Structure 1
């Protein structure tokens, strides 16, 4: 496969808006978005989220990782500047660092329906993620890709863990966001579907059972987009830096490409058990890349390093084909050296909880001339 094979990629990033004095959520999304205006990046968009203290940036459709990186940086710069002009900070973290009441719901009919359905379960649900969309031509192929992705979703989370704190306390997990999300029905690794018909029936059953408000409300960590011809992978916490979001996107697209290659060769996905996938996901949210992991195919505990090596082995041929292998290795080396977002948050917390917030704000959009780790093809200028 090559860059011209039509396997496009886009990323949605969710951010928290914080009061720089208190480090706590500020329900000012409408003002920040009004000040930000229209994104400069082609095809990109800004929008509100469920709570009024969050904003989202979605890139346009990108053919390569260099273009994706430029769009992510443009969107972050624009939103961070708008937040700063409103006297706020823009940060990327899966859960709030400091204790505070959650901001109110964003006004609107759909947030009201969500609140009406989930009641107290939605109270305080202030989490942010990084969602990767990968273009897949037809729905049956997309569902087959979902089935191939299931064993790898926990490892994508482990690399992207960035929510160790639960409103002022260290949760003991690297991704408390994943534990927060588990309070909702149909969360976690999606079940095996086998066909688009089976997928659509599963979504219809959830609607008929009355546990989701619409077809866009499924909490699966990988799903078909209800409005785009893409597979949407939602394993990652909001990533501190654009580089980390690019790494998640590069690995996700490579896993999709590897699945497509298997399908072309007639290789079916392994039928891993739902409960073992759940065990692997919980273990990834607890320990990340530093502790044990669960191999969903072998159904046993293994070192996280072994699963990471298996992931890289899985995607190496397609990363080499697209010219992304060296960059991905470089970004993975940086994770090995400096840790995941959760590791870096905990190190900053040794200087006090406000030091975590300051670090998050500083790295969400570094000042001009201070792009950390700038190198390689992902850094090309437009």
Structure 2
């Protein structure tokens, strides 16, 4: 896979999410929610022990300002949330510390944490977490949620108001498939290679209001659509949409949920820096009076499918030009678009470094497939190592 790192030239939940507002500096504040799977130290299969791990993290002496941990829909999953960050160095530190704390708590229970969009090995469907809202979700969606152990990397970026947030999401729509393509890290489905880079994205597509969100002319139109979907009985509440970008229903943020669970801290930082760059670019476009084009919904769906299938290693679909292009060309276009924003926030060199590393190592999905040469259990072993230590066993810088 060849990733273009020269970005010169003309110009993608119920826990307590990070709550950024506008930064007083050149950037926008941001935070990240990361979802992880818990696996047994012996079998390497997922186990529903989230309550035990979270109880250890809630014990006296385990608190840490900004970082928090939460249950997810199924008992095999846990979520770690950073605090409000203004720069990538702080974000990196909080992501690393959260993973290390979570890994230590899991280790005390003879478990390991895994950053993968889906479980590698098959196992029985896990129980739903004992939470009234989660139970309602499981009852509504039945078999869709029975083994829905999907894990993502969600980035929140501070935006002042909902009207602006909806307009920003309109601008993000064409780029959500490329954010997914960059992040693919879930090739396995019940122990078998699915042929996709992101089986999580395919799994998620079975829900109503999934994929790239529609284009909305206003916050009122967005809210009216949400109310209609709830009235139609296909959403539990306004937090239930699984669109890949949305204005938060609880916070002054835009939330982008395009990415698979980031295999390493580096990849989580890369996703967050690019999302913040896209949001900042959208705000600049809006300030200049340029609304987002209403990109065709079926074309967006085609772009999402192609990104899930191939990652950056094959063809993609350009949502604006409505024609196929190599996925790496789409990434290069995204980078050209956000270059001014990355320069303003001081993230350009970091993004270049991280992309260069990915060009050498390959995507999370590619690394899982390489590890599978030693058997499917070897994939889990590799994931356990890189979740906390990063690629190659060295702790993330």
Shorter-chain TM-score: which interval?
over 0.9
**Structure 2 residue 248 is the aligned partner of structure 1 residue 225:** yes
Q: How does 1:317-332 map to 2 (within 5 A)?
A: 317-332=340-355
| Cross-structure match for 2:45 | 24
| Cross-structure match for 2:6 | none
- Kindly report the root-mean-square deviation, in angstroms, between the aligned alpha carbons of the 2 structures: 1.6
Q: How does 1:71-150 map to 2 (within 5 A)?
A: 71-150=94-173
Instruction: Name the SS of the counterpart of 2:279 in structure 1.
Output: helix
Gaps of 5+ in 1: 375-382
| Cross-structure match for 1:164 | 187
TM-superposed CA distance for 1:41, in Å, is: 4.2
**Structure 2 residue 377 is the aligned partner of structure 1 residue 354:** yes
TM-superposed CA distance for 1:305, in Å, is: 1.5
**TM-superposition CA deviations, 1:187-207 (whole Å, max 9, x none):** 000000021111101111111
| Cross-structure match for 1:380 | none
Q: How does 1:140-289 map to 2 (within 5 A)?
A: 140-289=163-312
**TM-superposition CA deviations, 1:20-42 (whole Å, max 9, x none):** 21111111101101112376542
TM-superposed CA distance for 1:294, in Å, is: 0.3
**Structure 2 residue 31 is the aligned partner of structure 1 residue 7:** no
| Cross-structure match for 2:76 | 53
Mapped contact 2:264–2:388 kept (Cα < 8 A): yes
Gaps of 5+ in 2: 1-21
Distance 1:271 1:259 in 2: 14
- TM-score normalised per structure 1: 0.95
Instruction: Name the SS of the counterpart of 1:30 in structure 2.
Output: helix
Give aligned pairs, total: 373
**TM-superposition CA deviations, 1:129-183 (whole Å, max 9, x none):** 1100000001111100000000000000000100000010000000000000011
Mapped contact 2:26–2:344 kept (Cα < 8 A): no
Mapped contact 1:3–1:63 kept (Cα < 8 A): no
- TM-score normalised per structure 2: 0.91
Distance 1:314 1:6 in 2: 16
CA 222–325 in structure 1, closer or farther in 2 if over 3 Å, else same: same
